[in-house]
Structure formats: structure tokens, C-alpha cells
Structure 1
Amino acid sequence: MRLDKYLCESTDLTRSQARGALASGRVTVNGAVMKKGTHVVRDGDDVRWMDETLVPIGLRYIMLNKPAGYECSIRNSQHPPVMHLLDVDKRERLHTVGRLDVDTTGLILITDDGQWTHRIISPRHRCDKVYLATLAEPLPDNAEDLFTTGILLEGEDKPTLPAVLVRVDERCARLTIQEGKYHQVRRMFASLGNHVLALHRERIGPVALDADLQPGESRYLKPDEVTSLAQTGDSDAAA
């Protein structure tokens, strides 16, 4: 990696600030002052800025228990973005893996690895997403069959992919879908004449929301969780 990029990857310096740090002689590589941003940093090199050893941040994979009232989009909104819940360096590099509505709570994945994100959200891989929905009205007797067949949402020309609905009680259900259409879960229940009072995402693919995470809390994914999500859909249908 070029030295100027290495500085930006391991500090809060912008590219122009990194060039300034190099020009001032405050950066050393293996004990020698290095002023060329084009210098290639190799594995094992000791890079220091103002005598502090630098290590690139690298790719990050985070799970967050999203509380209600936070926006996954980075566009201007009256709601605070979920990224503000994270206390990490270079937060601006991160993005959410898909989105949850402002009023929806639960598992959201956050990363700076675009290829990993694509693997999870690509419709081709059909990664399961599991939601717990609290409803205003009792479910009809044939709700399971309707969701298994697929539901034609208002404004759509094709029904949803088959989904699995499991009743928790007459006004609460656990729903597994393999798509991510706009407000899909709420629209699916609305097609039955019902209204979702609360919606909570419990799982994405093989990874469940950590029960120890309180709303607004996050943790880095374990290596096996990162790998299992990257392999989602290889052998069976998931979203």
C-alpha cells in the first residue's frame, strides 16, 4: 500500500493532511524519515507518525441492535442516523447492509466491505431475514397458506417470494422472507387488512441478534459469523 494511503487508512488524516505530515518529516518507516507518499509499505514495516506506531483499520463487520427512531439512510432526515450509535474510527466509511424502517427495531449489519454486503443482499442468494411482528388484529386462519403462496403487494406486478409465517399468538407472528422490498413486511400484513404495531428483526441468514445487546448497542461480528454470512445461499435458500 502507498504510504500516503496507509496514513489515511490508519489515522483521521485526509489525503492532503497526510501529504503535509510527510512533507514535515513527521512520518518514519522502519526508523527512517520518509517524505514520499508513493513509497510502498510492505508487511512488517514499522510506520510511525509523530512516533506513534500506525496500523490500518482494515475491513469491519458490526452487528447493531437498532432502536426505534433511527434512520438507516444517510440522506437528510428528521431522524438521527444509526451510524451515530457507533463509537468507531472512520465512521464515514461504513454503510448498513440493507435497511430497516425508522420504526423497525433489531438486527442491522454494518460494514465497509462492499463485496460482502452484495453477497448478503443480492436477490440471487435469497438470504433469510426473520422478523417478529406485533399486529393490531388477529391473523386469519389461512394466513400461513397465503404467505407460503406469495402475496401480491399493492403497486407490484408479481407476488412476493414464498415466505414462512409462524404464529406466536393470535396477534403476533414470526415471519421469514427472502426479499427486501420497500416496507415489505408491513405491506404484506396490510394486504390481509392488518396493521403492524411493532416490527423487530431477529436474524439475517445464520446470524441472530446477540441477546446481550441492548437497543443502541453493537459489537463486532465473530470471524465465523462473517464467513457464514458470506456463504449465505450457497447450499440452500436464504436473503
Structure 2
Amino acid sequence: MNIERYLTEHRQGTPGQIFRLLRQGRVTVNDVVVDSPRKLVTSQDDVRVDKLAVAGRQPQYYVFNKPMGFQLSLDPTAPRSLGSLLNGFDQQWQLQALTDLPREAVGAVIASDDTQFLMDVDAQNWLSTCRVQLTGVTVPEIATNPAFQNLTTQVDQISQTMTISLQTADVAAAVATLSQLTGVTGPVERTALGPLSCPVDLAIGTYRGLTASEIDSLLGEGIPTK
């Protein structure tokens, strides 16, 4: 069979990821780099990705809804960390997180044991969507920052509250600015990272695996299905 099918059957990623692995020179057959998906292989060949035999490489991809005050360490023994949220099975993976969400914020965080995947996602320079809720219906003055885009305000006259959201590549600046507004009722929340929205059914303090379409979208290879 060809290398593309071989890697697919051995759960080495989505079709888009497998093409990316080949393009990046991360696949070898008998110690020779392979970049063509049509390369034929047999069960006798030594096929590796990132120098790991495919039988021993099962990459993991997760999205966490990070609670307020939690650090981004995936060490299961670290208190108040993403690692402390892992179930017993997932604690075996050597996971890392994109370290771009401050401790005092909540919301979507991407984690994986595929270091190159995290680097590739980071290289996309996705904008984060951040929001905060306030009491009152008077729109506060927000400090001008060229890194902030698409600033919107939604006012709820019935509950006398408002929601302010913006998009930015500078998440730390957004969290610092939004959290200091008058009338803030809770932490700043990252509701989306580029094309990936924090799942509405993902409770704070929980996580789930990324779908194939979500993985591809984070790599700039498509848009996740609804």
C-alpha cells in the first residue's frame, strides 16, 4: 500500500496532517526521508514519524476550557494546573499547551504531545476572541491599542448588563485591558482561537479531543464543520 494509506491506517493524523508530515520531511522509510504520498511500503518496512515507529506514536490533540487561576502546565502533579484536570488514561501522554492564555483568564487552550503541531498552530498567528461581561449599560472607554480588532458591545437592557468582545493577537494585553473595566462581573474569557471556538458544551474545567476538521482548521487546512 502507499505511505498515505499506511499512515492513515496507523492513526498518524488526518489526511491534511499526513500530507503536512510528508512535506515537512518528518516521515522516513528504512531511514530514508519520504515526501511522496504514493511511496509504496510493506509491513516489513521500518516506517517512522519524527524518528518514532508508527506503532508507538499515537498523537493526542485536546482543547481545554481553562478555569480561572489555573496554570498551563500539563504536569498531573501540579496543583491548579491543566495537568490536574487530566483523567488517569490521559496522564500517560507527554502533553504541552500553547502558553498564550494568562492565569487569570478562562477559556480555550490547545494542548498536544505533537510539538510540531503546536509550533505549526502558533505560526498561523491566529487572532483570539476575548470577551468580558459588565454591569450597567453605559459603554466604558477602552484604551486604544492597535492590536485590538473588531471591538463590539452588546447591551442587555433587561438585565442591565453588557458584553464587550474583541479580537487580538496580544491576548495578555486584552486580558489586562478588559479585566480593568468598571463593573466587570467575572474573568475575561477566550471564546475562540482563530477558527476554533471554545465548544459551548465544554464546561469550565473540562477538556475533549479535537476533531479531525478542527485539527486541520488550526493548521490552516480547512474550516471545521458545525
> How would you bin the TM-score normalised by the shorter chain?
0.5 to 0.7
Distance 1:134-1:96 versus aligned 2 partners, 3 A rule: same
How far apart, CA to CA, are the structure 2 residues paired with 1:186 and 1:139?
20
* Aligned ranges 1:1-239 → 2 under 5 Å: 44=43, 55-73=55-73, 79-87=79-87, 88-91=90-93, 93-122=94-123, 125-135=124-134, 140=139, 151=144, 159-169=145-155, 171-182=161-172, 184-189=173-178, 197-231=186-220
When the two structures are superposed, what TM-score results if normalisation uses the length of structure 1? Answer: 0.56
Among the aligned pairs, what percent are the same residue?
Answer: 17
Conservation of the 8 A alpha-carbon contact between 1:135 and 1:198 = no
Q: Secondary structure at the match of 1:84?
A: helix
1:181–1:106 CA distance, 2 compared to 1 (3 A): closer
Question: Which residue in 2 is equivalent to 1:19?
Answer: none
Gap regions ≥5 residues in structure 2: 1-29, 32-40, 45-53
Closer/same/farther in 2, CA of residues 181 and 108 from structure 1, 3 Å limit: closer
- Matched-pair contact (CA < 8 Å) for 1:96–1:111: yes
Q: CA deviation at 1:81?
A: 1.2
Q: How many residues align?
A: 168
Rg larger for: 1
Q: How far did 1:103 drift?
A: 3.0
Query: How far apart, CA to CA, are the structure 2 residues paired with 1:174 and 1:190?
Result: 11
Decide whether aligned partners of structure 1 residues 187 and 102 sit closer, same or farther in structure 2, where only a CA change above 3 A counts: closer
Distance 1:187 1:136, change over 3 A: farther
Separation (CA, whole Å) in 2 of partners of 1:107 and 1:208: 8
> Quick one: distance in 2 between partners of 1:216 and 1:197?
16
In structure 1, what residue type is equivalent to 2:118?
T
Q: Which runs of 5+ in 1 are unaligned?
A: 1-38, 46-53, 152-158, 235-239
Cα separation, partners in 2 of 1:72 and 1:137, compared to 1, 3 Å: farther
